[in-house]
Amino acid sequence: MSNRLEVVSLGVSFGATAVLRDLSFAVREGSAVAVIGPNGSGKTVLFKALIDALPHTGTVRWAPGTRIGYVPQRLDLERDLPLSGTDFLRAKAALLHAPEAEVERASGLVMLGREVEARPIGSLSGGQFQRLLLAFALLGRPNVLLFDEPTAGIDEPGEELLYATVERLQKEEHLTLIFISHELSLVYRMAGEVLCLGRRGVSCFGPPRHILTPETLEQTYGIPVDHYLHEVHGR
Amino acid sequence: MDASALVLSGSMAVAAGVVGCFALMRRMTLAADAISHVALPGIGLALVLQINPIVGGVAALLLGAILIWGLERRTGIPTETVVGVVFSAALAVGSLLASGDELIDALLGRPTAMGRWEFAFGLLAPLGVVAFLGAARHRLLISLVSPDLARTVGIDVARLNLAFLLAFAVTVALGLRYLGVLLMGSLIIIPAATAKHLARNVGTMFAVAVGVAVASTLAGSVAAALTHRPTGPVIIAAAAGCFFASLAVRRAL
C-alpha cells in the first residue's frame, strides 16, 4: 500500500526552543494514526506544520491529489460574531464549487440540526461547534482527516457519536485519519499506528501494542501511566 | 448639495459599510481608526509640495496598509500596539506639516470643488472595493474564523490580508473629503458595529451596515449643508445615533 504522507527530519522551533526535532514517520493510505504525548510536546504544532501553517525544517510530503480536512482543537471566537454555521459551511462549498447537497451531506454526517446550524457560531456549545468544524472538514470529500483532540469539551454520548462517524467514514471512504488524543483507550481502539511525542523532542512510532506499554508511556509522559493502561486492558 | 455629490458620497458610504463589516469581524476596530490617521502626513506633504492633498493622502494610506501587513506577518509583534504608536506619530507629524484652515479641513473633511479625475476615482473606487469584497467574501469569512482552516482550503492568507488592507485604505481615502482624517475610521466602524449588534448572520449584517452608512452620510451631508456646519461631524453624529438606537433593540433580525 502506498504512503499518503511522508515526514522526514521535521523540525519546528520557536526562537531558541525546539518543539519538534528530527521527526520522521510515514502514514499509509487509508490508515489511522494516533498522536499522543504530554501537554507542550508539540502535537498541535505538528499538525500546523503538516498543513504548512508554520515555518519548519525537513520535509513534509503529501501524495499527489491529497485533500485535507482539518479539525482544530479550539478556536478563539467572539460570542456575538454574526456568522452562522450555515454561512460558514456555504463559504467553503462556494470556494470548492460544491453543490448545496454537499453542505447537507456534511452536516447530516455529523448530525448537526438545521436549527443549530443557523445560529451564530460563537453561541454554539463546545460539542456543537466541534461537530460544525467536522462538517466543515468533511465538505469537499477530503481523503485525509487531521483531528486535533476531538473530544475536548464534548460529553460522553457526543464523543461516541463523533468517533462512530469518523470510524465509519474512514472505512467507507478510505479516509486516512491522523488524530491527537489523550484517551489511550480510544487510541487502542482506533489507531493502526501510534506516534508518541515526548518532551525534549523524543519520539516513537509503531503499532499500539508496541507503543502503549508502561515503559514507553512513562518515557513519553515522564510519569508512570498505570491509570490509562487499566482502562486499555479493561476494554 | 448637487446630485452628483450625493451619488459620490453615497457610493463611498456603501464601500465603508461593507469594509467595516469585515474589519469588525477581523477585530480591527482600533487599528481601523488609527490607519485613517496616517493620511495626514501625506496630505501635509502634498500641501507643502503644492500637489493635490488627496493624492498625498491616498499614497500615505497605501503605504500604511503595506506597513501594517508587513508587521502582521512577523509573528510575536503585538500589532495593535505598533499600529497605535506608528499612526499616532503620523498624526503628530502630519499636524506639524499642515496648519491653520488646511489642517482643520484635513482633519474634519470639507467637500470642495473637484477635478475630473477625482470624480472618476470617487465613482470607480467604491465599485472596485465592493466588487473585490464580494468576490473574496467566502475566503475572507473562512480566514477570519481561522487562518489555519483557510490554508487547508487553499487560501493564500497573507495575500488575502494585503488585498483587504489595500481595499480598506482606498475606502478611507474615499472618505477624506467628506469626513476627514479623524472621522473616516468612524464611518467604517460605527455602521458595522450597529449591524453586528443586530444581525445573526452575515447577509443581515451587510444589509444593516450599508443601510446605516448610506443613510447617515446622505442625511448628514444635507443637514450639514443646511446648517452650515462641517459635514464629517454631522455624519458621524447621525451614525452614532443609529448605534445607540440599536442598543434598545437586541438581536431582532
Convert the pLDDT of each residue in A160-183 to its tens digit. 777 888 888 888 888 999 999 888
Phi/psi at A206 (nearest 5 deg)?
Answer: 170, 180
Task: Point out the residues of chain A with pLDDT beneath 50.
Answer: 227, 229-235
Identify the pLDDT of residue B87.
77
Q: Which uninterrupted H or E stretch holds B83?
A: helix B79-97
Of A51, A91, A119, the CB nearest to B141: A91
User: Is A87 within 8 Å of B137 when comparing Cβ atoms?
Assistant: no
Identify the pLDDT of residue B251.
53
How far, in Å, CA of A132 to CA of A121, rounded?
Answer: 9
How far, in Å, CA of B149 to CA of A53, rounded?
Answer: 10
User: Is B197 within 8 Å of A80 when comparing Cβ atoms?
Assistant: yes
Q: Which of A167, A113, A173, A162 is nearest to A140 (CA)?
A: A173
How far, in Å, CA of A13 to CA of A15, rounded?
Answer: 6
Q: So what's the ipTM on this one?
A: 0.85
Cβ-contact A194, A205 below 8 angstroms: yes
Query: What's the pTM value of the predicted model, to 2 decimals?
Result: 0.87
Q: Which of B33, B16, B7, B12 is nearest to B209 (CA)?
A: B16
What residues have CB less than 8 Å from A103, skipping those under 6 apart?
Answer: A86, A89, A90, A93, A139
* CB atoms near residue A116 (< 10 Å): 18
User: Is A92 within 8 Å of B142 when comparing Cβ atoms?
Assistant: yes
Of A70, A87, A140, the CB nearest to B141: A87
| CA distance, residue B134 to nearest chain A CA (Å) | 12
Cβ-contact A171, A150 below 8 angstroms: no
User: Is B201 within 8 Å of A92 when comparing Cβ atoms?
Assistant: no
How far, in Å, CA of B238 to CA of A49, rounded?
Answer: 49
pLDDT in tens, B7-52: 889 999 999 999 999 999 988 877 777 788 888 888 888 888 888 8
Q: Which of B219, B236, B92, B95 is nearest to B175 (CA)?
A: B236
User: Is A82 within 8 Å of B141 when comparing Cβ atoms?
Assistant: no
Q: What is the DSSP string of B85-127?
A: HHHHHHHHHHHHHS-HHHHHHHHH-------HHHHHHHHHHHH
pLDDT in tens, B190-226: 999 999 999 989 999 999 999 999 999 999 989 988 9
Cβ-based contacts of B139 with chain A (< 8 Å): 91, 95
How far, in Å, CA of B29 to CA of B20, rounded?
Answer: 9
Instruction: Please state whether B43 falls in left (phi above 0), alpha (psi between -120 and 50) or beta.
Output: alpha
Between chain A and chain B, the number of residue pairs with CB atoms below 8 A apart is 76
Cβ-contact A24, A10 below 8 angstroms: yes
Of A51, A52, A120, the CB nearest to B200: A120
Q: What is the DSSP string of B196-228?
A: HHH-SSHHHHHHHHHHHHHHHHHHHHHHHHHHT
> What is the separation of C-alpha B139 from the centre of its chain, rounded to a whole number of angstroms?
21
Cβ-contact B239, B223 below 8 angstroms: no
How far, in Å, CA of B15 to CA of B8, rounded?
Answer: 11
Q: In chain B, which residue's Cα lies nearest the Cα of A81?
A: B25
Q: Which of B72, B99, B47, B232 is nearest to B168 (CA)?
A: B72
Percent over 70 (pLDDT), chain B:
95
pLDDT in tens, B42-77: 888 888 888 888 888 889 889 888 887 887 777 556
Cβ-based contacts of B155 with chain A (< 8 Å): 95
Q: Does the pLDDT at position B118 exceed 90?
A: no
How far, in Å, CA of B192 to CA of B206, rounded?
Answer: 8
Cβ-based contacts of A96 with chain B (< 8 Å): 153
Q: What is the residue-averaged pLDDT of chain B?
A: 86
**What domains appear along chain B, each with residue ranges and CATH number?**
3-185 (1.10.3470.10)
What residues have CB less than 8 Å from A180, skipping those under 6 apart?
Answer: A34, A35, A36, A43, A44, A47, A73, A147, A148, A149, A150
Indicate the angle between helix axes B29-37 and B157-198, nearest 10 degrees.
110
> What is the separation of C-alpha B125 from the centre of its chain, rounded to a whole number of angstroms?
13
Kindly state the cell numbers that stand for A133: 468544524
Indicate the angle between helix axes B116-145 and B157-198, nearest 10 degrees.
90
Cα B91-B94-B96 angle, rounded to 5 deg: 115
Cβ-contact A148, A130 below 8 angstroms: no
Residue B204 CB burial class (10 angstroms; 0-12, 13-18, ≥19)? middle
Identify the pLDDT of residue A127.
80
